[in-house]
Structure 1
Amino acid sequence: MLVTICTIRQLPQAFALGDSFSRYALDSNGQPEPFLIGLADDPAQLPPSFMSPYPLLPVSSVFTGDTLTSLSDTYNPTEFAAACKPQFIAEVFNRYPAADRLLYADPNVLFTQPLTAIWRQFGESNALLTPHITRTPADTAWPDEKFFQNVGLYSADFMIFRRSAETDRLLAWWQDRAQERAYIDFCAGLCTDQLWLMYMPVFFQQVQVVKNPGWHAALWNLPERTLRQVDENWQVTGPTGTNQPLLFLNAKGLYNADEGFFPNQNRLRLSERPDVRTLLTTYRQAVDKHAAPGLTNTPPAYGRQPEPVVLRGWRRATVRSLRALNRFVDNVPLPVIR
């Protein structure tokens, strides 16, 4: 079973995710495995004639009214969805008792191969994570290793969980941390629900980390990987494997440059990567099939704090200069008055 969490404006991407999952994840009878969308938004804001091709579970069905209001008042929309994620995953396990394993993917993900290899690799693990990068950057471009210490070693955009007592304990621990500490505040050592993932392989049993380059190709790791199209499929070569099948793409930051934690990255240049541009075109086509103004123009109902403003060009340069000037002034020695 696959679940995702998104706002109304992200529904076209969630539908593209569902289409790819339904195509490549089939049960023993040849039928698509279940796909559920957690709506981190108010369904009352959906267009009047809207019909979702996949089931929606609003977060208002997961949290009590007081908790929902408190979370919404505390966080911005990105943080709000992150604060809800562990509890939502636990709720899906409760509502679907036949689901023995649950795959979570952000709406930016697109599957490109059958999931057989994913389930086989998962085996009897309780949880599965994928790291952001698998090689030390060999240049001075950004993001660097230090920045991944801020956002987390593992990506919260793709995870798998097995129904077990250990997974229940893991989800309860994660929810306890994320619900109150899902802020994006690097100075305080916080980064949504994601930073907590780095403790999971230490605190919990049978948490697997997969470094295969064909898993989770994304903006942050494509600089260390190369893509090669073979007929209708893609192969990936990276630090931990050669000519591996590309199982799924994460288009966060590629489809919308303002999404994610790397809006000012300078390590991956699309102008120099025709392979990535071709794959991104495929992703855009999958999303455009579901595009509708009534969805993409709807502001999120929850997460009432403002999202950080992404600065580029002269605005970013000006802010950096002012911060440098402020540091200089703070360090100017004052004369001693006798």
Structure 2
Amino acid sequence: MKTAFFTICSRNYLAFALTLRQSVLRAEPDHAFYIFLADEAADADRLSSIEVIPVVELERPEIASMALRYTIMEFNTAIKPFCFEHLFRKLDFEAAIYLDPDIEVFQPLTLVHAHLQSGASCVLTPHILEPIRDDDSPSDIDILRSGTFNLGFAAFARTPEAERFLSWWARRLTEHCFVDLERGLFVDQKFAELAPSFISALSILRDPGYNVAYWNLMHRTVDQSGKDWQVNGLPLTFFHYSGVIAGEPGILSKHQTRFATSRTAGVEPLIDLYLQKLAAHDHLHWSKIPYAFSSGPDGTRIPDPIRRHLPRERTIRAPLTPSDIAFWNAPSERVDQTSGKVITRLMLSIYESRPDLREVFALATAGGRHLFHAWFLTHGATEYGLSPIWTEPAFSTSRPGTLSRHLAWLQIRLAQARRRIIGS
């Protein structure tokens, strides 16, 4: 089958994508590899001879509003079905294999090719293959929240049922590719829960050498045999370095609490070598390039909490206008306003997106509004990286006193601790 490999990233993650590309072409030299860029075009001189497809070349009108509706992570995942469709319809591939940019391939994906050749429309890998027996994070409940299958890998053949699934998936991700666990959404991944129902020729790959990562290392032992890496005595096909931190080889992943270090997980040499490869692919340069769709034309950063409320007709070139800023800075009509403690529409959007804030600060009471106002100006603005243009309306009414600041901080920390203890 004429098969392509591809990944998706923004410019700040290009060192990861280039490291993945190098590993794929070493293991699968007869296949093409594409980088879909969820961003503006990158420095062509640094990427000569590399197949890079900027998002605008997908030529899908809905993507313009998606770039503004979603955070950088949400947008990178939202365009995945569009990329599969582009490879099938525009570049005439018979099959396509997606890999997250923070993956490294060590062996040919022989089992994936075999499933596709034998008639599979789709191949997926579960997060875990055995029950989780401890109380660390991620737990089995965390896996259920984020999705049974890890969509850092997905393979599709160009079959009628695969194309129907991709078309449906693309429509859903146009408006619903959010990290919103309360609503049962986790970017593109939760929709794959329906793949076994919608795709009759679905193959679930259970080989432990595929998609090894922090979420399944409690069941998989990684070691080196000569120059080769193994998992549970079998070849390591690809490792998913989700949550690694450049320059910190001791950290397995920032997304977990099960392993204190990469050494205790048994993968410190693997991660150390991987970070060296990121450095060789100039991560220091790429990581500093700003995300093109993070700001308006005047450089004003768009706060993530308002992205999902932006009108669909907004374009990539002009995401914010003075009237937009004035709208979000106006006092919310859905909150009883207290003199000197204005709650803006932006502040309410942040409040409604955070269970911990809703638990601690009751906006139905003057006291709750007072403490939320103090939290926003003292901690929230910093946490969300808000520029003065977004905080001045609240600051101009009143500046919180020392006691209010400390009390608001203490209450939110206690609420977060309670939620961690009960696992919600």
Amino acid at match of 2:114: R
Does the CA-based 8 Å contact 2:115-2:123 persist in structure 1?
Answer: no
Larger strand proportion of the pair: 1
Deviations, residues 291-318 of structure 1 (Å, cap 9, x unaligned): 15442201211356556969xxxxx997
1:33 correspondence with 2:31: yes
Which structure would you say has the larger RCO, counting Cα contacts within 8 Å and 6 or more residues apart?
A: 1
> Could you say if the C-alpha distance between residues 245 and 264 of structure 1 is closer, same or farther in structure 2, counting changes exceeding 3 Å?
closer
Q: In the aligned structure 2, how far is the partner of 1:141 from the partner of 1:306?
A: 32
> Match of 2:235?
245
SS of the equivalent of 2:86 reads helix
Q: In the aligned structure 2, how far is the partner of 1:71 from the partner of 1:216?
A: 28
For 1:95-134, what aligned pairs fall within 5 Å after superposition? Answer: 95-97=90-92, 99-122=93-116, 123-134=118-129
Q: In the aligned structure 2, how far is the partner of 1:78 from the partner of 1:214?
A: 26
Amino acid at match of 2:282: A
Amino acid at match of 1:224: H
Q: In the aligned structure 1, how far is the partner of 2:101 from the partner of 2:231?
A: 22
**Aligned equivalent of 2:47, options 45, 51, 66:** 51
1:203 correspondence with 2:198: yes
Unaligned runs of 5+ in 1: 27-31, 238-242, 311-315, 327-338
SS of the equivalent of 2:56 reads helix
> Match of 1:329?
none
What's the offset of the Cα at 1:319? 3.8
Amino acid at match of 2:32: P
Amino acid at match of 2:24: F
> Match of 1:5?
8
What's the offset of the Cα at 1:38? 0.3
1:321 correspondence with 2:414: yes
**Aligned equivalent of 2:78, options 83, 97, 102:** 83
Q: In the aligned structure 1, how far is the partner of 2:83 from the partner of 2:22?
A: 22
Amino acid at match of 1:246: L
Deviations, residues 211-239 of structure 1 (Å, cap 9, x unaligned): 211111111111221112110111112xx
SS of the equivalent of 1:159 reads strand
Instruction: Name the TM-score, length of structure 1 as normaliser.
Output: 0.82
SS of the equivalent of 2:222 reads strand
> Could you say if the C-alpha distance between residues 283 and 306 of structure 1 is closer, same or farther in structure 2, counting changes exceeding 3 Å?
farther
1:284 correspondence with 2:279: no
1:183 correspondence with 2:183: no
**Aligned equivalent of 1:228, options 199, 223, 227:** 223
Q: In the aligned structure 1, how far is the partner of 2:260 from the partner of 2:202?
A: 34
SS of the equivalent of 1:38 reads strand
What's the offset of the Cα at 1:274? 6.4
Q: In the aligned structure 1, how far is the partner of 2:231 from the partner of 2:258?
A: 18
Deviations, residues 101-131 of structure 1 (Å, cap 9, x unaligned): 1100011111011233431244321000001
> Could you say if the C-alpha distance between residues 225 and 306 of structure 1 is closer, same or farther in structure 2, counting changes exceeding 3 Å?
farther
Greater displacement, 286-295 / 218-227: 286-295
> Match of 1:302?
293
Deviations, residues 31-89 of structure 1 (Å, cap 9, x unaligned): x310011000001xx3474334421111111144x533311221100111111111121
Amino acid at match of 2:193: M
SS of the equivalent of 1:275 reads coil
Q: In the aligned structure 1, how far is the partner of 2:99 from the partner of 2:158?
A: 17
Q: In the aligned structure 2, how far is the partner of 1:200 from the partner of 1:81?
A: 20
Does the CA-based 8 Å contact 2:245-2:254 persist in structure 1?
Answer: no
> Match of 2:144?
149
Amino acid at match of 1:234: W
Give the length in aligned residue pairs: 304
SS of the equivalent of 1:234 reads strand
> Match of 1:330?
none
Q: In the aligned structure 1, how far is the partner of 2:220 from the partner of 2:294?
A: 35
Does the CA-based 8 Å contact 2:14-2:283 persist in structure 1?
Answer: no
Q: In the aligned structure 2, how far is the partner of 1:68 from the partner of 1:207?
A: 28
Greater displacement, 271-280 / 208-217: 271-280
Q: In the aligned structure 1, how far is the partner of 2:45 from the partner of 2:155?
A: 34
SS of the equivalent of 1:87 reads helix
Does the CA-based 8 Å contact 1:16-1:290 persist in structure 2?
Answer: yes
> Match of 1:21?
24
What's the offset of the Cα at 1:136? 1.3
Does the CA-based 8 Å contact 1:128-1:161 persist in structure 2?
Answer: yes
Larger radius of gyration: 2
SS of the equivalent of 2:46 reads coil
Amino acid at match of 2:261: L
Amino acid at match of 1:55: E
Amino acid at match of 2:197: V
> Could you say if the C-alpha distance between residues 106 and 53 of structure 1 is closer, same or farther in structure 2, counting changes exceeding 3 Å?
farther
> Could you say if the C-alpha distance between residues 269 and 168 of structure 1 is closer, same or farther in structure 2, counting changes exceeding 3 Å?
same
**Runs of 4+, deviation exceeding 4 Å:** 303-310, 323-326
> Match of 1:159?
154
RMSD of aligned Cα (Å) = 2.6
What's the offset of the Cα at 1:323? 4.8
Instruction: Name the TM-score, length of structure 2 as normaliser.
Output: 0.66
